[in-house]
Chains A and B, each alone.
Chain A
Amino acid sequence: MTSTRSVSASQQQDLLGANAREQAALRRNGIIDRIFEKGTLTLALAVLALLGTIMASLIVAGWPALQELGWSFFTGDRWAANIEHFGALPAIYGTLVTSIIAIIIAVPVSLGIAIFLTELCPVSLRRVLGTMVELLAGVPSIIYGMWGVEVLSPFLREHFPTLFPAGTGLTTAGLILAIMIIPFITAITRDVMVTVPAMMRESAYGMGCTTWEVVRNVIFPSVRGGIVGGVILGLGRALGETMAVTFVIGNNLFLSPTLTGQGTSIAALIANQFPEADGLQRSALLLLGLVLFVITFIVLAIARLMLRRIENRAP
């Protein structure tokens, strides 16, 4: 905006006694300015378009299934491609259960690690361990899946044969997800805990508080939103995880009565059946994808709103 105004101003008044060549240069630069702004704006709008088209493509592709199956898609507890009967309940149930198991395990452990890193750990180790946690958050999920199927699931099978006769199941998947999101939640929690001004922390210590009292009464209250945001972000990650889960969840298409039993998740079902799906089955799977997207969208939106508040405060 400002740039266009300055160009026209210089044209009208011929302010600095610019000659024709200089005026041409000014005009040229003004045009470049406008192109630059509009160009970057277009690409920024592409982000909105991206979300829009993701939603639209899933809705369009999933529409035939929604029309054909109606509400029974969400309430049906049987997914049988051979008789074109598609009920999403077992997959939605499996997705939620595995993620909740993961969160229940990961949150206390992550908070513990974060407190250890920010309050207890010797300063010399702090950087190394912190970096290590961040690096582990970047390990590809398929590695966790391979580890789950080759190490964790045989371990469970051997040591708890009555609970895990096959080594796979909802709990196994939850465990793998927990291990996967621990570094993730830890990194965010540590980051927000560090934003607490040193002065607040020191004054609390100066008053004679113990470390735990400082953490509990000073640090947690002031970054609660950020920690909750980080946890929900971890939840979002667990909900949509495909590779780590597909290997160990057991891929049973019925509602499992027990938590250690086999089940399936939305992402695992899509990964297993999509490559060969056609017609109504493909449409149903895309609709399932839309369900997953909506669930994660809501979860992530909540997390981002909470994290934004903390980030705006950070220096």
Chain B
Amino acid sequence: MLKRVAATLLSTSLVLGATSATAAETITGAGATFPYPVYSQWADAYQDKTDIGLNYQAIGSGGGIQQITAKTVTFGASDAPMKPDELKKNHLVQWPQIMGGVVPVVHIEGIDKGALKLDGKTLADIYQGKITRWNDDAIARLNPDLDLPDQQITPVYRAEGSGTNFLFTHYLTQVSEDFANNVGEGKSVAWPSGVGAKANAGVASQVGSTNGAIGYVESAYATENNLNVAQLENKAGNFVTANPDSFKAAAANADWENAPGLYLVLTNQPGDNSWPIVGASFILMHTKVQNADAAKRALDFFDWAYKNGGEAASKLNYIPMPQNVADMVRKEIWSQIKGPNGQQVWQQ
């Protein structure tokens, strides 16, 4: 009996092992959760059309950079761009694939959607545990029309390293010196108080279910969860609402053509209507790839996404990359990716 059990198990695993040899073509990538909703939608649509699958593991931006550096994936994804010298050192190129906004979401019973106004300094103080109640003077001053409850504030943040963290802390360090000194910017920081939730979705659902909570998520997650998004004061001193227009206004400042290594972070941009926390999500690939076919498959997918992904992206509140940037990426970045024989893996 033992022998029979063992034999059956062994033979099934052998059969399954054998089928793996003839596996379908799959693009493997890993990284940010910020663009995860739109990448997944693209992937499903692309697989329906071409039969080429995408296995994208949303392990966080830090994970994306680590995995592509270690060459375990064909592409990595990160919302925190790598500095030009780091790129060079690791033989990587990066390009922006999609843009989106990080929005502060709140859950306060009695406060209407989009009614609450916050500025950067107050947000920084809330996340440092200095402002602990919603009827605090600092918040009341910004919201004279609102009847703020005497409710404890529960800040919710990302438990793991993430690009959303990077964009959010990058913004807060610019607007609050205090925050810069005590917490600082980074993919993974030590938040003084509150609840750590896993991934954008975890933050969204924690905020959604906790009275008095505040969090920050990529805009798509706020929309999908029907959350209360607060207004933010931008660099021009205006309170702006998070919507595709204010994201676009901030993104319009981006001067991709003159950014070395395409290193560009779009927080706290000038402009009357600019949303203060906008960022691009980057794709990272090696310049010298071992498997030219795999690299080509990935680039074909990104090319398809530039051309056909705009609608799905806009529906989720993302900002598709403008045509001229996509053309520049095709011409100047993808041409640097070469196969083992030294030839470009992707031709226009």
Determine whether B66 belongs to the interface, using a CB cutoff of 8 Å to chain A.
Answer: yes
Determine whether A251 belongs to the interface, using a CB cutoff of 8 Å to chain B.
Answer: yes
Are B190 and A250 in contact, with the CB atoms below 8 A?
no
Q: Separation in Å of the A255 CB from the closest CB of chain B? A: 11
* Chain B neighbourhood of A44, CB < 8 A: none
Q: Which of B41-93 contact A (CB under 8 A)?
A: 59-66, 69
* Chain B neighbourhood of A168, CB < 8 A: 195, 206
Give the interface centre of A154, A161, A275, A277 by most chain B CB atoms within 10 Å: A275
Are B186 and A82 in contact, with the CB atoms below 8 A?
yes
Are B193 and A157 in contact, with the CB atoms below 8 A?
no
Are A253 and B187 in contact, with the CB atoms below 8 A?
no
Q: Which of A142-159 contact B (CB under 8 A)?
A: 154, 157
Q: Separation in Å of the A93 CB from the closest CB of chain B? A: 15
CA distance A168 to B183 in the complex (A): 23
Determine whether B348 belongs to the interface, using a CB cutoff of 8 Å to chain A.
Answer: no
With A165-B212, A272-B159 in contact, is A83–B152 under 8 Å at CB? no
What 6 pairs between A and B have smallest CB-CB spacing? A82-B186, A251-B196, A276-B62, A80-B190, A276-B63, A251-B159
Determine whether A311 belongs to the interface, using a CB cutoff of 8 Å to chain B.
Answer: no
Are A251 and B197 in contact, with the CB atoms below 8 A?
yes
Determine whether B192 belongs to the interface, using a CB cutoff of 8 Å to chain A.
Answer: yes
* Chain A neighbourhood of B69, CB < 8 A: 278
Q: Which of A66-104 contact B (CB under 8 A)?
A: 78-83, 85
Are B161 and A81 in contact, with the CB atoms below 8 A?
yes
Give the interface centre of B154, B156, B160, B206 by most chain A CB atoms within 10 Å: B160
With A272-B160, A275-B59, A276-B63 in contact, is A254–B193 under 8 Å at CB? yes
* Chain A neighbourhood of B188, CB < 8 A: 80-82, 273, 276, 281
Using CB atoms and an 8 Å cutoff, list the residues of chain B in contact with chain A.
Answer: 59-66, 69, 152, 154, 156, 159-161, 169, 183-198, 206, 209-213
How many A residues face the partner with a CB closer than 8 A? 29
* Chain B neighbourhood of A80, CB < 8 A: 183-184, 186, 188-190
A-B contact pairs, 9 of them (CB 8 A): A79-B190, A82-B190, A165-B152, A165-B212, A166-B213, A272-B198, A276-B64, A278-B65, A278-B66
Q: Separation in Å of the B152 CB from the closest CB of chain A? A: 6
CA distance A78 to B192 in the complex (A): 9
* Chain A neighbourhood of B169, CB < 8 A: 82
Interchain CB contact (< 8 A) of B196 among A167, A253, A281: A253
CA distance A81 to B196 in the complex (A): 15
Are B196 and A262 in contact, with the CB atoms below 8 A?
yes
CA distance A281 to B187 in the complex (A): 12
* Chain B neighbourhood of A277, CB < 8 A: 62, 66, 161
Chain A: CB-nearest residue to B159 = A251
Determine whether A264 belongs to the interface, using a CB cutoff of 8 Å to chain B.
Answer: yes
Are B195 and A252 in contact, with the CB atoms below 8 A?
yes
Q: Separation in Å of the B210 CB from the closest CB of chain A? A: 5
CA distance A262 to B155 in the complex (A): 11
Are B63 and A275 in contact, with the CB atoms below 8 A?
yes
CA distance A253 to B152 in the complex (A): 20
Task: Report how many A-B pairs have Cβ atoms within 8 Å.
Answer: 99
Interchain CB contact (< 8 A) of A276 among B152, B160, B191: B160
CA distance A78 to B69 in the complex (A): 28
CA distance A188 to B212 in the complex (A): 44
With A157-B210, A165-B154, A276-B63 in contact, is A250–B192 under 8 Å at CB? no
Chain B: CB-nearest residue to A282 = B66
Are B196 and A154 in contact, with the CB atoms below 8 A?
no
* Chain A neighbourhood of B206, CB < 8 A: 166, 168
* Chain A neighbourhood of B161, CB < 8 A: 81, 273, 276-277
* Chain A neighbourhood of B196, CB < 8 A: 250-253, 262, 264, 272
Are A276 and B184 in contact, with the CB atoms below 8 A?
no
* Chain B neighbourhood of A78, CB < 8 A: 190
Are A250 and B195 in contact, with the CB atoms below 8 A?
yes
Are B184 and A166 in contact, with the CB atoms below 8 A?
no
Are A254 and B192 in contact, with the CB atoms below 8 A?
yes
Give the interface centre of B62, B65, B187, B213 by most chain A CB atoms within 10 Å: B62
Chain A: CB-nearest residue to B161 = A276
CA distance A250 to B213 in the complex (A): 13
CA distance A165 to B69 in the complex (A): 41
Are A161 and B211 in contact, with the CB atoms below 8 A?
yes
Q: Which of A269-295 contact B (CB under 8 A)?
A: 272-273, 275-278, 281
In addition to A81-B190, A254-B192, A281-B188, 10 A-B residue pairs with Cβ atoms within 8 Å of each other are A81-B189, A82-B189, A83-B184, A157-B209, A161-B211, A254-B190, A273-B160, A273-B161, A276-B61, A276-B161
With A262-B195, A275-B59 in contact, is A253–B212 under 8 Å at CB? no
* Chain B neighbourhood of A275, CB < 8 A: 59-60, 63, 160
Chain B: CB-nearest residue to A279 = B66
Q: Separation in Å of the B209 CB from the closest CB of chain A? A: 6
Q: Separation in Å of the A303 CB from the closest CB of chain B? A: 31
* Chain A neighbourhood of B160, CB < 8 A: 272-273, 275-276
Are B195 and A251 in contact, with the CB atoms below 8 A?
yes
CA distance A254 to B194 in the complex (A): 10
Q: Separation in Å of the B60 CB from the closest CB of chain A? A: 5
CA distance A251 to B156 in the complex (A): 10
Chain A: CB-nearest residue to B165 = A82
